[in-house]
């Protein structure tokens, strides 16, 4: 009996030691030591991650990210973590995480197998599809009408690679023009330098809504890709991933996601059946 008790105590001690080690190593250890967390965000991915007039990031993904940051703070015993917001394009943000310059990336980044070779991802935070916007008076009425025309797309995004793959699969000869910012793409559309602009549909709707003359644009009905969004994390850091997923689960289970969705995406209607199912399936039981 005595030996059994000693064994149980030793096992409990080992579990406690492992738990402490997990919060003092990897990203959690760095965060605890610095009392700060580095977060990579997009400056122009409205309504997911963008910079407000006061210079602070805001959006659907930022609200979810703040819940994750709060949970990380609780996990390392630092409830008032300093947050260093680092802006960048999608390729730049992913590289920041891979290089250890950012502890988490919160925007509208699609999880792919290729990206999983360099970073890990949280559970899904949103599902979108890629589409195409044109000028209202454009002769392009279907995606297949882009044959022989120019399509602007954000450089280094999954939309770029999937658009190229889709065009190839349909044997459509169109010129894909990679650009650095959504503003550049819209300017090209307005000037006639591009005949269409391909991006995630929710982003396109947000951009059009912010344009000087929203009625000057039209969204094509078709979609050409599926975009599952998640937060990029350092590869192999299961302790950090656990805390991020714990926070997301709490948001999904508590129903808080309804308020967040309504605030940032309510103008587009209610969550689709697919998105509602995603929230349910990504709410991991304790």
Model pTM score: 0.81
**The domains spanning 2-127+228-281 and 128-226 adopt the same CATH topology:** yes
Domain segments of the chain as ranges: 2-127+228-281, 128-226
Task: Kindly report the CATH number that applies to the domain delimited by 2-127+228-281.
Answer: 3.40.190.10
Which of 63, 75, 73 lies closest to 106 in space, CA to CA?
Answer: 63
How far is 252 from 244, CA to CA, in rounded Å? 13
* Per-position pLDDT tens, the chain of length 286: 445 444 444 444 444 344 444 456 799 999 999 999 999 999 999 999 999 999 999 999 999 999 999 999 999 999 999 999 999 999 999 999 999 999 999 999 999 999 999 999 999 999 998 899 999 999 999 999 999 999 999 999 999 999 999 999 999 999 999 999 999 999 999 999 999 999 998 889 888 888 889 899 999 988 888 899 999 999 999 999 999 999 999 999 999 999 999 999 988 788 888 899 999 999 888 8
Closest to 108 (Cα-Cα) out of 229, 268, 193 = 229
CA dihedral 253, 259, 261, 263 (to 10 degrees): -160
- How would you classify the pairing of strands 49-51 and 57-58? antiparallel
For domain 128-226, give the CATH number: 3.40.190.10
Neighbouring residues of 192: CB distance < 8 A, sequence distance ≥ 6: none
Whether 153 contacts 128, CB under 8 Å? no
């Amino acid at each position: 009996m005595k030996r059994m008790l000693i064994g149980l105590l030793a096992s409990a001690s080992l579990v406690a030691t492992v738990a402490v080690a997990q919060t003092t190593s990897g990203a959690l250890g760095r965060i605890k030591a610095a009392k700060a967390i580095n977060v990579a965000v997009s400056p122009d991915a409205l309504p997911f991650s963008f910079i407000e007039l006061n210079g602070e990031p805001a959006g659907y993904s930022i609200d979810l990210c703040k819940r994750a940051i709060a949970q990380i703070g609780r996990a390392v015993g630092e409830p008032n973590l300093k947050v260093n917001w680092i802006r960048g394009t999608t390729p730049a943000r992913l590289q920041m995480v891979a290089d250890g310059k950012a502890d988490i990336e919160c925007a509208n980044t699609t999880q792919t197998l290729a990206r999983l070779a360099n970073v890990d991802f949280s559970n899904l935070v949103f599902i979108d599809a890629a589409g195409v916007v044109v000028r209202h008076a454009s002769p392009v009425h279907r995606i297949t009408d882009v044959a022989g025309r120019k399509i602007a797309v954000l450089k280094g995004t999954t939309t770029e690679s999937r658009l190229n793959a889709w065009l190839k699969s349909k044997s459509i000869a169109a010129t894909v023009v990679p650009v650095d910012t959504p503003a550049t793409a819209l300017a090209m559309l307005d000037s006639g330098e591009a005949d269409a602009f391909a991006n995630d549909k929710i982003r396109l709707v947000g951009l059009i809504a912010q344009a000087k003359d929203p009625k000057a644009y039209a969204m094509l009905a078709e979609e050409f890709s599926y975009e599952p969004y998640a937060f990029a994390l350092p590869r192999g850091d299961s302790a950090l991933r656990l805390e991020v997923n714990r926070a997301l689960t709490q948001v999904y289970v508590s129903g808080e996601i309804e308020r967040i969705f309504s605030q940032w995406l309510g103008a587009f209607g209610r969550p689709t059946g697919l998105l509602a199912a995603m929230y349910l399936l990504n709410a991991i039981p304790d």
